């Protein structure tokens, strides 16, 4: 497994959305099908253009994990379920902190694995919101990297 960080081109956005959807279906069991259908076009048409994207590819050069950063905030980090537990999330997160200046992340409170992952890497909850950034009833933890 190659763990080099690479850039993502706009022509690869469909592939990125496939990774996002498979990851969400494997980890965000609290989301309803209608929520996934709501977010999918937003990710493709709005969110990906609003962040600086990086990825890890497999040996066939397919994207297996990606992140998006804006204003020192980790806006997205998703790993294809077939590649979870292989250090890709760690590789991407450490890169985002060291090379992209990430200091903050917002996490769905119900995604306990993600909350634990970020805590393991030194993030702590500084605030909690009842609604997510889209106004949906999914509590969000606002976490910051401890200095």
In the structure encoding, which two tokens stand for residue 102, read together?
């990430």
Q: What is the tens place of the pLDDT at every residue in 91-117?
A: 999 999 999 999 999 999 999 999 999
Given a contact cutoff of 8 angstroms between Cβ atoms, the answer to whether 73 and 144 are in contact is no
Q: In what order do the strands lie in the sheet with 63-70?
A: 5-7, 52-57, 63-70, 73-79, 104-108, 140-145, 123-129
24-76 pLDDT, tens digit per residue, is 999 898 999 999 999 999 999 999 999 999 999 999 999 999 999 999 999 99
For 58-76, b/e burial (b = at least 16 CB within 10 A) is beeeebbbbbbbeeebbbb
Write phi, then psi, for 58 (nearest 5 degrees): -85, -175
């Amino acid at each position: 497994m190659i763990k080099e960080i690479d850039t993502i081109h706009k022509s690869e956005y469909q592939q990125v959305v496939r990774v996002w959807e498979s990851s969400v279906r494997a980890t965000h069991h609290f989301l309803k099908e209608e929520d996934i259908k709501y977010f999918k076009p937003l990710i493709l048409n709005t969110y990906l253009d609003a962040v600086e994207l990086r990825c890890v590819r497999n040996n066939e050069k397919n994207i297996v994990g990606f992140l998006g950063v804006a204003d020192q905030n980790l806006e997205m980090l998703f790993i294809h379920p077939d590649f979870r537990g292989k250090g890709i999330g760690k590789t991407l997160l450490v890169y985002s902190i060291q090379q992209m200046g990430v200091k903050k992340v917002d996490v769905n409170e119900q995604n306990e694995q993600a909350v634990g992952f970020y805590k393991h890497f030194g993030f702590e909850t500084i605030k909690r919101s009842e609604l997510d950034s889209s106004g949906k009833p999914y509590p969000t933890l606002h976490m910051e990297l401890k200095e």
